[in-house]
Structure 1
Amino acid sequence: MAAAEPAEEPAEELAHAEVLELFQAALARLVQDPLLCDLPPQVTAEEIGSQVALEYGQAMTVRVCKADGETVPVVVVQNASVLELKKALRRHIQLRQARQGGVQHLSWRYIWRTYHLTYNGEKLADDRKKLREYGIRNRDEVSFIKKLRK
């Protein structure tokens, strides 16, 4: 006969809302750090990770100039591909829209069918190609250019 297992003490259970509140409070304390002070109040763990990676030189900021003239700073890892830049841009825009309560859905398929990203007049046509292969470095600017109809 097997020996009876010792009774485990019941773990303190927290409701999801309570855990979320504790997590948000901890994040709020984190963003008071001078390194992270320019992050928004409803910061995500992903944004904190990106900011720390920037500080340690593991990431870079690529400024994406939209057709309306607005420039969006997007953080990507140093050896990011064009596709990773596109995904980071999408995530940045989605977070900003959620915080502002604006349009919640954009058709990114439509955007990438309608626009190219360009750097120094060259289309970033190959999603697998690394940004550095195009000569893109920290703080460089890429632009949306409307595709011409065939």
Structure 2
Amino acid sequence: MAAEPEGAAEGAEAAAVAEEPPEELAHAEVLELFQEALARLVQDPLLCDLPPQVTAEEIGSQVALEYGQAMTVRVCKADGETVPVVVVQNASVLELKKALRRHIQLRQARQGGVQHLSWKYIWRTYHLTFNGEKLADDRKKLREYGIRNRDEVSFIKKLRK
């Protein structure tokens, strides 16, 4: 029998250790670790404007905004409140509507306000407008309407036919 070269036994031990299954954590433990990591992340000056219960989606949007891959569209609601919504640079009207819906849902969940809005009713009752032009085509890109970073779109009530 040939002698094993030096280090072969150590390599076999390392391989055996590498094959051990990783330590399994309970869902609650993983969630806690994730929340702690997010809390550390939002202390970064780039992300300090985000709420404490931030989502990974919100962090991604903020980073995309910083790198110029996204833009903020201010949506002026019928009650006069302005909501900043982050969308990708080449977003369509439909993507803006979805981002607005997500933003409002997250805010409601954090504040404990009204838990359900009928978005079907909202889009049936209101148009989004920019510089007096209705954003009527959901497939059309925001830039085709001339919407750029920090521009403001408004809700306007539809007229009855």
TM range (shorter): over 0.9
- Deviation (angstroms), 1:4: 15
- Deviation (angstroms), 1:104: 1.3
1:25 is aligned to 2:36:
yes
- Deviation (angstroms), 1:82: 0.1
Distance 1:61 1:94 in 2: 18
- Deviation (angstroms), 1:144: 0.3
Distance 1:133 1:124 in 2: 10
Q: Secondary structure at the match of 1:138?
A: coil
Distance 2:52 2:83 in 1: 18
Q: Secondary structure at the match of 1:62?
A: strand
> Which is helix-richer, 1 or 2?
2
Aligned position for 1:140: 151
- Deviation (angstroms), 1:10: 3.5
1:40 is aligned to 2:54:
no
Structure index of larger Rg: 2
Distance 2:15 2:33 in 1: 37
Rate the CA distance shift 1:4–1:109 in 2: closer, same or farther, 3 A.
Answer: same
- Residue correspondences, number: 148
Aligned position for 1:14: 25
Rate the CA distance shift 1:72–1:4 in 2: closer, same or farther, 3 A.
Answer: closer
Structure 1's unaligned 5+ residue stretches are none
Q: Deviations over 1:41-67 (max 9, x none)?
A: 000000000000000000000000000
List structure 1 segments (4+ residues) > 2 angstroms apart after TM superposition.
3-11
Rate the CA distance shift 1:4–1:100 in 2: closer, same or farther, 3 A.
Answer: closer
Alignment RMSD: 2.3
Rate the CA distance shift 1:7–1:120 in 2: closer, same or farther, 3 A.
Answer: closer
- Deviation (angstroms), 1:140: 0.2
Q: Provide the identity percentage.
A: 96
| TM-score normalised by length of structure 2 | 0.88
| TM-score normalised by length of structure 1 | 0.94
